[in-house]
Structure 1
């Protein structure tokens, strides 16, 4: 059985995962990185703090967020 990770756990605990970020990320470290965990869940961390906390989402949670972002539901955040 795959190990479970708690939200806010140190990203250092997430070994054997490949972190990736968008090609649109800036050069100043203002990036969000994601990694697929062995459990199928998705971990998210701030690239400026790679050893800091990681948030863990189910595939359904991430799919709902991405669909909302694509639909413009969060565009008001940047206003």
Structure 2
């Protein structure tokens, strides 16, 4: 599994990382705790979240 983070992550590197899993699921973790738990989502769930981000549905959280 290869963890990736956004090139837009903050300078200290603290961010969310994602990794594709066998079978198509996507794991999400906090980069500050690489040995800690990861949340696992289906590709459809990730796609719905990304669509919401692109539509500005979460802009109030930033």
**TM, length-normalised to structure 2:** 0.94
Q: In angstroms, what is the RMSD of aligned CA positions? A: 0.8
Q: Which moved more, 1:60-69 or 1:21-30?
A: 21-30
- Give the superposition deviation at 1:21: 0.4
After superposition, residues 45-64 of structure 1 pair within 5 angstroms as 45-64=29-48
Within 2, Cα distance between the matches of 1:30 and 1:50?
A: 11
CA distance in 2, matches of 1:48, 1:27: 13
Over alpha carbons, which structure has the higher Rg? 1
Q: Give the C-alpha shift of residue 26 in structure 1.
A: 1.5
**Larger relative contact order, structure 1 or 2 (CA cutoff 8 Å, min sep 6):** 1
Distance 1:29 1:53 in 2: 18
The CA distance in 2 between the partners of 1:27 and 1:52, in whole Å, is 22
- Runs of 4+ deviating beyond 3 Å: none
Q: Which runs of 5+ in 2 are unaligned?
A: none
| TM-score between both structures, scaled by the size of structure 1 | 0.75
How many residue pairs were aligned?
Answer: 62
Q: Distance in 1 between matches of 2:14 and 2:51?
A: 22
Secondary structure of 2:38's match?
Answer: strand
